[in-house]
Structure 1
């Protein structure tokens, strides 16, 4: 399959922004920059690293969304607070997003965490959390009805429900460490290509099967349906 010039330019920009994000994190670690330390403005960083402001803006957007950096009026880009496990983990995993292979490995790690925690989630989930899962699935169905009319808007809304669905399952295991770890991983995919796909009825049915199995307290079925769903997520978008 031939790749158009526009597509190559987009991919090149994504690669440059990922590399810049990695280099900024490396600077934070190497220079031991404290929370609040100034990194510079978009123009400053563009000059320092010899890239366009578009590349800088994309890199900053990724790091800001992951809680690594923050913007302060009059100062520009600054190092965000790093006083908890999630903040430290975000910085440690940033280099992985600089390559498709790294993202794939993070997605595999996410699958391991979810599948490994599903039995505990089925055992510990409360009635309120079951209702929450079922409500999320119902909202996903409602959102999907607008797919043909508004593909972009529907995809964005569905993506938010998708993340919330999986976060709810992990929260049901009532393990704080696992929940934080998983939440950080989902943040990466929420902003990346794994969650950039157009939602499908097949994916919706998979979520419904998982929710029903959990509601029935059926660990075997819940594990089976979740595993099949995550295996689908691991496939390339073209597959």
Structure 2
């Protein structure tokens, strides 16, 4: 048996003893994540991969389609399948929308998840934020202030604020997770703002809580940022309890 070609991106990546398509997905994923097949580059042909892995072209096709569903590759009609330039959170967004189901129970669980996740995101942001990232955070805060009283504009700016903290965390997986939750959190924000008319003092108080989070991040105060985010959620407890009545033991 001849040695693998030098340009073989799968050299040293044998299929695991599992479902054949899963094994192909694992080998392809390792090759992509290790940079053996870089962003924008084409995958080898189905025939070449089938021969390389000793499977049928149908198995390879199934594996590639699953990678497309994950947002890792892009299948083109009549063109080679290519690795995406950068992973995005669309597959996660679709998953979270499905998991929450648009139900109050699902959205309430999203609130709980956010409360667990976001203080730690703020902690990382305070430790890792760059001057440029902090400047962008200030610009988002200015948009929020200008949007007080305008619910659609406010919600967009509010979502952007929390999204940007994911960016500032410096952790790619955290960034994708926060952005993936965005559609579900947007649904929660609409419920929150639909409860009744909010006065200027309410808008200002909410903005000030975001301001405190930003101030601690700018100061590099990781613990302070986590506590400011916890305080932000605690201030909304009454409204959250109104929207999502407390659950009893299962």
**Residue in 2 that maps onto 1:224:** 227
Contact 1:121 1:173 in 2 (8 A): yes
- What is the match of residue 51 of structure 2? none
Alpha-carbon deviations, 1:192-238, whole Å to 9, x = none?
Answer: 14334157211111011111111111122211111111233454354
Residue 87 of structure 1 deviates from its aligned partner by: 4.1
Q: Indicate yes or no: 2:203 matched with 1:200.
A: yes
Any residues of structure 2 matched to 1:65-144 within 5 Å, and which?
82-84=69-71, 86-93=89-96, 94-144=98-148
The runs of at least 4 aligned residues of structure 1 exceeding 4 Å deviation read none
TM-score normalised by the chain length of structure 2: 0.54
Task: Please say if residues 194 and 233 of structure 1, whose CA atoms lie closer than 8 Å, have aligned partners that are also in contact.
Answer: no
Contact in 2 for aligned 1:96/1:102 (Cα 8 Å): yes
1:183 aligns to 2:179 (yes or no):
yes
Contact 1:141 1:204 in 2 (8 A): yes
2:29 aligns to what? none
The structure whose residues are more often helix, as a share, is: 1
Instruction: Report what 1:169 is aligned to.
Output: 165
> Which structure has the larger Rg?
2
Partner of 2:246: none
Shift of 1:117: 2.3
Task: Give the TM-score, by structure 1 length.
Answer: 0.56
Q: Take 1:209 and 1:98, find their aligned partners in 2: how far apart are those partners? A: 31
Change (3 A) 1:232 1:101: farther
Aligned length in residues: 150
- Displacement after TM superposition at 1:188 (Å): 1.5
Q: How far apart are residue 130 of structure 1 and its match?
A: 0.8
Aligned residues: CA RMSD: 2.3
Residues 167-197 of structure 1, C-alpha deviation per residue, up to 9 Å, x if partnerless?
111111111111111111122121x143341
CA distance in 2, matches of 1:106, 1:225: 20
